[in-house]
Amino acid sequence: MTSKKKFRGIFCVALVLGFVLTGCPTEPSKGETWTNVDDFSQFDGTWKGSFRKTITAKEFIESLGMTWDTSMQLMLGDMRITNSGDITLVVDTTEMTSSMISIITQAFSGGNINLIWPMLRDEMLASEGELEGIVVTINDENHSVTMEMNQPETEITENMMASMLASGMEINEVGTKLRMPADSINEAVSAIIPEIILIKQ
């Protein structure tokens, strides 16, 4: 029973962590020169990006600093987690406003997913009320949960601006791409979401 509770908690964390990065800028572009964003005006514009990454349950649990013990192995087996998402970020540095639309899907496959899916689904549905402004859709057929967030135009405060500048985001030399380097993301988050590139439209 302890393992089941621990397991449920782990994947609720995964869902929440998925949204931690939706405001951040998939694959790194080779041959480009990147520098830290040091002027807020560099964020100006409409930016779009997507990502997809598949890992094993073992990799994710170990990224949290937890031990892949016998009980975990028996319960999860070779289960895999695929995270994918699409992000649109609009920043107006003249009017000092921003808005964002993000759709993130987390799908589980392999291992004992058919046995533990009802438990995962119930936990996700129970957590739905805690995710304000986020529409959660459960798909029993492919064992996935999709979270859609539509953040309306919001005023950018001084604190928000400072946080964005301190986030570790980088911009390419021609100002057409933003990225969050993988090594600037904490290990648990980078395990489920790769480095993401946002392209200026």
Half-sphere exposure of 144 (CA within 13 A, CB side): 14
DSSP state of 33: -
Residue 22: Cβ-neighbour burial (10 angstroms; 0-12, 13-18, 19+): buried
pLDDT tens per residue across span 12-46? 444 444 443 433 434 455 678 999 999 999 999 99
pLDDT tens digit string along 39-91? 999 999 999 998 888 999 898 888 878 889 998 888 888 999 998 989 999 99
Nearest CA among 33, 24, 21, 77 for reference residue 176: 33
Q: What is the mean pLDDT of residues 84-104?
A: 93
Nearest-angstrom CA–CA distance, 121 and 146: 12
Write the pLDDT tens digit of every residue in 137-196.
899 999 999 989 898 999 999 998 998 888 888 999 999 999 976 555 555 555 666 678
pLDDT score recorded for residue 196 = 81
Query: What's the rounded Cα separation, in Å, for the pair 114 and 134?
Result: 26
Per-residue pLDDT averaged across 89-117, rounded?
Answer: 93
**Enclosing domain of residue 39:** 2-200
d(CA 154, CA 152): 6
Q: Could you give the number of structural domains in the chain?
A: 1
